[in-house]
Amino acid sequence: MAKTKLTINSNGSVKVEGDFEIVDKNGNVYGLQGREVLSICRCGLSKNKPFCDGAHKGHFEHEAVAFNLPERKV
């Protein structure tokens, strides 16, 4: 199975690429019509949530720069 890649875009969405499925809170699968790339809304402004429709442009700011999370607590 190909690795799924999530890209956090600055001032925008989360791009999802690879072999994946997306389910709602009840476990129902969204019909993605064979898409292997799509974007998930992070700003909350999309009329097509959870998917991005570009509504964030000019209304959402976040500079996406990778960092290390602290150690997991066990």
- Domain span at residue 39 reads 1-65
Residue 52 domain flag: yes
Q: What is the total count of domains within the chain?
A: 1
> Quick one: average pLDDT of 69-74?
95
Res 67: pLDDT: 97
Check residue 1 and give its pLDDT: 55
- For 7-35, what is the mean pLDDT? 97
Identify whether 54 is part of a domain: yes
The stretch 16-26 carries a mean pLDDT of 97
Domain contains 34 = yes
CA-to-CA distance for 64 and 52, rounded, in angstroms? 17
**Nearest to residue 32, comparing CAs of 2, 45, 40?**
40
- Residue 26 — pLDDT band, cuts 50, 70, 90? very high
Whether 70 maps to a domain, the answer reads no
